[in-house]
Amino acid sequence: MKKDFIVPILVLSMICLFVTGALAVADYFTRPVIEAAAAERARLAMREIIPQADGFEPLELHGLPVTINSVYRSTNNVGYVFIVTTVGFGGDIRIICGVDTNGRVIRAAVLSHTETPGFGEPVFAESHTSRYSGQDRFGIEGISAVAGSTVSSGAFKSAIRYALGAFEIVGMR
């Protein structure tokens, strides 16, 4: 009777150890490839946001809002790129926002979101996001929400506010 319990437990334990080892090996070989692809996507997104930049260097800053995931400065000093995460109706919205050295939005775009398909999409369309280009922290207040997507619109605008607020902190350093 004891044998009826011990053998299945040993077999399942061996299967678990084998699968764990296989996953660790797969992670070891795929992690660098995934990280390189993510870095390349980020570099391309930054180039789209500030096309006149020669390159970007990451900034390690403290005291920024928790919504700011990362900050990059263009190597030729034409502006900064902020990666910001806010919460919309359906979950997190992650945007990338370029700000020039005068504190005006160069361009903003959505990197990822979990909003309801069809309802949140108009907020992330170029026709809406382009309305923020050229605006400073006072100018964005005049941009109205997209009808039917007010929560998503508010989250997008908040992300731009956070980026512009972070720019004020970065600009003082």
Domains of the chain by residue range: 50-171
Q: What is the pTM of this model?
A: 0.77
Indicate whether 115 pLDDT > 90. Answer: no
What local confidence, expressed as pLDDT, does residue 136 receive? 85
Q: Which CATH architecture has domain 50-171?
A: Alpha-Beta Complex (3.90)
What local confidence, expressed as pLDDT, does residue 29 receive? 92
Nearest one of 101, 99, 100, 62 to 83, comparing CA atoms:
99
Indicate whether 46 pLDDT > 80. Answer: yes
Residue 173's pLDDT band (boundaries 50, 70, 90)?
Answer: low
Nearest one of 157, 162, 163, 134 to 144, comparing CA atoms:
157
Q: Which residue has the higher pLDDT, 16 or 42?
A: 16
What local confidence, expressed as pLDDT, does residue 149 receive? 74
Tally of CB atoms within 10 A around 56? 21
Query: Nearest 5°: phi and psi at 33?
Result: -65, -45
What local confidence, expressed as pLDDT, does residue 22 receive? 92
